[in-house]
């Protein structure tokens, strides 16, 4: 049974935009750290904001994005079963569960996204176009690299006991934010494109049924 993903898609895109905004602020803070490490080391603000409030606002936005994105991702996965149930490598439940499995969450969600993408196009069984999966792969590469780099930067920050070590952590953190920002923008484009594909496919089914 098809369910309209449009409303969820709009919500996901707005929330992703909010996440990108916060990441830009935090990336700017790391740039300032690298430009003037001594001054940044002694400050108690993040991008001019109270660090507790900045972390709280960013965390709430991120949590909301995760929840709404997972609901959207599960819905488009369920819809894809209507058009090509035999091409999926994972059951619909994996569209949510796969994200919470350490290490496996770096590739299983991409598998699901690829299968949903193929099922949502006009001919699910056709060979992939030369650059058909470029958007999806670009988003996933930035997301995965950003997640790994962010983990490294967090570890470096926890271990930093000198100004040089703290500056090194800031450089890794900035790199992580840049990948995460790129992933956020590409995710917006991916959500928009896949939702549009499913809308077009569903509209075609309704027209054919009349």
For residue 208, tell me if it sits in a domain.
no
Number of domains present in the structure of the chain: 1
For residue 62, tell me if it sits in a domain.
yes
Residue 66 tokens read as 């995760």
Residues in Cβ contact with 198 at an 8 Å cutoff, skipping those fewer than 6 apart: 5, 76, 79, 80, 120
Which region among 70-74, 163-167, 180-184 has the lowest average model confidence (pLDDT)? 163-167
pLDDT at position 47: 54
For residue 38, tell me if it sits in a domain.
yes
For residue 98, tell me if it sits in a domain.
yes
pLDDT (tens digit per residue) in 142-151: 999 999 999 9
Question: Can you tell me the distance from the alpha carbon of 27 to that of 33, in angstroms, rounded to the nearest whole number?
Answer: 10
pLDDT at position 42: 62
For residue 1, tell me if it sits in a domain.
no
Q: Which residue has the tokens 């991916």?
A: 190
Question: Can you tell me the distance from the alpha carbon of 164 to that of 174, in angstroms, rounded to the nearest whole number?
Answer: 15
What are the residues facing 49 on neighbouring strands? Answer: 46
CA 45 to chain centre: 27
The residue range of the domain holding 197 is: 6-203
Contact indicator for 117, 136 with CB cutoff of 8 Å: yes
For residue 140, tell me if it sits in a domain.
yes
pLDDT band at 209 (very low <50, low <70, confident <90, very high): very low
pLDDT at position 178: 98
pLDDT at position 48: 58
For the chain, helix, strand, coil in percent to 5 are: 80, 0, 20
For residue 99, tell me if it sits in a domain.
yes
Question: Can you tell me the distance from the alpha carbon of 92 to that of 112, in angstroms, rounded to the nearest whole number?
Answer: 9
The DSSP string of 181-195 is HHHHHHHHHHHHHHH
For residue 164, tell me if it sits in a domain.
yes
pLDDT (tens digit per residue) in 6-33: 999 999 999 999 999 999 988 988 898 8
pTM of the complete model: 0.91
SS3 string, 73-93, reads: HHHHHHHHHHHCCCCCCCCCC
């Amino acid at each position: 049974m098809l369910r309209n993903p449009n409303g969820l898609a709009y919500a996901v895109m707005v929330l992703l935009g909010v996440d990108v905004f916060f990441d830009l602020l935090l990336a700017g803070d790391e740039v300032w750290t690298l430009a003037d490490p001594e001054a940044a080391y002694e400050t108690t603000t993040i991008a001019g904001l109270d660090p507790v409030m900045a972390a709280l606002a960013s965390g709430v936005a991120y949590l909301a994005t995760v929840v709404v994105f997972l609901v959207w991702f599960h819905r488009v996965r369920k819809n894809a079963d209507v058009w090509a149930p035999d091409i999926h490598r994972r059951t619909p439940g994996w569209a949510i569960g796969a994200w919470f499995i350490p290490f496996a969450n770096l590739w299983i969600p991409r598998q699901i996204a690829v299968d949903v993408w193929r099922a949502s196009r006009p001919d699910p069984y056709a060979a992939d176009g030369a650059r058909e999966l470029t958007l999806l792969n670009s988003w996933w590469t930035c997301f995965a690299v950003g997640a790994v780099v962010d983990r490294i930067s967090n570890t470096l920050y926890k271990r930093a006991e000198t100004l040089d070590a703290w500056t090194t952590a800031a450089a890794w953190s900035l790199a992580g934010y840049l990948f995460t920002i790129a992933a956020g923008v590409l995710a917006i484009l991916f959500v928009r494109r896949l939702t549009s594909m499913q809308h077009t496919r569903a509209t075609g089914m309704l027209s054919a049924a009349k």
